Structures are given as structure tokens and as C-alpha cells.
Structure 1
Amino acid sequence: MRSEVQAFIADGPLPDWDASSEEIDRRGKQLTAISRPVTPEEARSLVGCFGPDDCYGVAWTLLHLIETGPNPVLTVQPAPDANEWLHLLWARAFNGSLIPGA
């Protein structure tokens, strides 16, 4: 796994809207420093970095980064109480017929 991805993952899930603008900018810059495409291992690890909301759009950047890797990243439908971003990743893969049997 590349060092840029490891650094992003090490900082944990994205913060919520209450985070400082500096923290949100820092996490956004971390994401843009990761070259595309991501590997399957990186994509699976990055899935755990979604926070409770869209983090002023940074979560969309994370979602699009994950989708540069081999799809589908999720092979099992998320539980009903799973993070909304996991449901979105699943729905996008399902709607794109990337999930076998979909």
C-alpha cells in the first residue's frame, strides 16, 4: 500500500461538518495527493474512512477515488445501519451492473 494512502487511513474517518476548515482542507489535500487508480487493497481500506456526513464535499472525493480501483469494492450489501456512503457505493455498483447477479 502506498504511503499516501497509509497516511490518509492512519488519520481515521473523515471529520464531520463541525471540524475546523484547516482540518477539512488538510484531509482534502491528503486525498488529492493519492494518484489514481487505487489498488484493490487500497480501495478496500479507504472504504473505512467515510465519516458521518459529506465533510463539505471531501467524502465525494473519497468516493470517486475508491471508484478508480477495481469494482466492485463492496461484494456484500451493507447492513441497514451502515454508513450512508457505503450504501451509495453499493447502489452505484449495483446500478452499474458491476455486482454479479445484479
Structure 2
Amino acid sequence: MTARREVEELVNEGMPSEDAPLEDIEKAERLLESIIPPVTDEEAQMLATAFGPDECYGLASSLMHVIETAPGAGTASYLQDADNWWVQRLNARVAAGREIAETGHDAMCPDHMGGQGCR
């Protein structure tokens, strides 16, 4: 399966930093908004390589949410660009989701940490 054109364009361009020219930020925003969710698992893996070095005025969070619309997002491993903070965050969210699915609660829940179980 091939990725949609708008996904490929965003991946090729990558997310700019907040220091980039306004035109670059606006272009990334238009590309991101043109991706109609849900994305495929393949597209999600591709999009995970598009994160830039910072939040880019909220666009990185929006990109994360688009990636998480993939059907396999809850069990995915994002291995490319693993040093990028956003990719690490994606993987941490998957791990937290797995913990909840396996145990029925979040290990960091204050009630659980106190030994009383989650609500």
C-alpha cells in the first residue's frame, strides 16, 4: 500500500521549528490539516519521522494526534528517529496504554501507588 500524497509531502518537508520562517510553518500547518484521519499504520510510521525539534506552535501535538488515529496505534513501536522527544513520547503513550489494557489501571495512578487500587 502506498501513502497518500499529503502524508508523503508532510514527511518529505518535515515539521519546521518555531524559528523557521512563517511561510514554512504555515505550509506545514496546511499539509497537516489536509491529512484526513484515520491514517493507516504505514502512514503513521512515516509521519512519526516528520517531527521537528520543538512544539512548532502546537503542530507537533496535532501531528501526534493524527498518528494516533491509525488502527494499530495502541500497539505500535516507533523505532525511526527514536532520539526525537516526540517519538519517545509516542512510544511512552503506547506503553502506558498497554499497561492500562493489561492491568486495568495506570501504574502511576495515585490510588494504585498507595496500594488501594484504582477507581
Unaligned 5+ runs, structure 2 = 104-119
Alpha-carbon distance in structure 2 between the residues aligned to 1:37 and 1:63: 12
Question: Which residue does the alignment assign to 2:106?
Answer: none
Q: Read off the aligned partner of 1:73 and give its amino acid letter.
A: A
Scaled by the length of structure 1, what TM-score is found? Answer: 0.83
Q: Deviations over 1:6-65 (max 9, x none)?
A: 111121x21111112221111011011011000011001111100111111111111000
Report if the CA contact (8 A) 1:43-1:73 is conserved. no
Q: Secondary structure in 2 aligned to 1:50?
A: coil
Alpha-carbon distance in structure 1 between the residues aligned to 2:8 and 2:97: 29
Question: Which residue does the alignment assign to 1:64?
Answer: 65
Q: Read off the aligned partner of 1:14 and give its amino acid letter.
A: M
Scaled by the length of structure 2, what TM-score is found? Answer: 0.72
Q: Which runs of 4+ in 1 moved over 3 A?
A: none
Unaligned 5+ runs, structure 1 = none
Report if the CA contact (8 A) 1:16-1:55 is conserved. yes
Question: Which residue does the alignment assign to 1:10?
Answer: 12
Q: Which has the higher contact order (CA 8 A, sep 6+)?
A: 1
Task: Supply the RMSD in Å over aligned alpha carbons.
Answer: 2.4
Q: Displacement, 1:73?
A: 2.9
